[in-house]
Structure 1
Amino acid sequence: TAMDRAALLLLVLGLGRAGAQKTLEEVPVQPGFEAQKVEGRWLTLRLAASRGDLVSPADPLRLSLHSIRTGAGGDVEFLLFWRGAGVCGGENVTVHPTKLQGQYRGSFEGGSMHVRFVSTDYSNLILHVRFEDEGATSLWVLLARSELEDPQWLGQYLGYVEKFHLQEAPVFNVDGQCPSPQ
């Protein structure tokens, strides 16, 4: 459904094609990444994408990553929430480890996604999600455990935004409590 696809687009927590699309191999990965250390609540501080039409401030749909959990076999599960057009809901999206540390892959109806944990000190996190369906869409996200932006992490994130010719998007954090329909 359109809502399921929208929830998956948040995870890419991937955005017209501006500049040359960089290949997935050019995206770095955190050395020594430990998935269990990223478990818990995260706030989205910044969001950028390779496709401008996905970052329109006029879009009434509000998506947010709520938390990350790890599961059996090294799977990573992202809990997403959305609000918009009179709808509120949540979705779990699970990605599976690849043979490369810090890299995960999952699929959804009509396509697949690659997730890379680019950089983290486990209090701040830069995440890259690439959706592949009819084309490729990259999404870069700066996450933190608190609402305070660390200048060092913001600088690193903005470096990727510039390097990969991304467009910033509005950010929304949803606590996960959907109000009763009125």
Structure 2
Amino acid sequence: MNKRGHVLNAVLLSIGLGYVLDPSGDVSTFATIAEVFLPVVLGALFPDVDTAFGRHRKTLHNLPVLLVFVAHPIYHGGNLQWVWLGVLTHYVLDMFGSRRGIALFYPFWDEEFGFPSGVTTSSEYAEVVTVVITALELAGVAVLVYVLPQYLPPGITRLLAENTALIA
């Protein structure tokens, strides 16, 4: 996926995430959107920093990098707890939306993994694929929040408990 697709994904994901986490539709929903917006967008753009150094879709497009972003909020909390989601959605978009895929196990293994569902980054269907994948990502988040909340990280569970009555 190209930069425009990653930005579109992050913006739509932030708006949708705001409504999933706080479905009231009032000012608190917009506050939730504002809270998640910048970290998700930064996370969604971060993996492509490897175009300036290293090997693109390898150096910053792998599970060890994602684990660093997932572990950070466990130890430090704060608003950066949403950066991992942006990084994860970047990976999902590159794996499912692009023909090339990513090197999930780099630096241990150079092979790139992807799915045949993707399109080239210059395809006229790239934005449609991005929107479809974003909708599926939001559906996955909604299932976690409403059906399987016990599998959410503790920080997100606390946020939900503070903002909604979804988590007992």
TM-score by length of 2: 0.29
Computing the radius of gyration from Cα coordinates, the structure with the larger value is 2
More helix by share: 2
TM-score by length of 1: 0.27
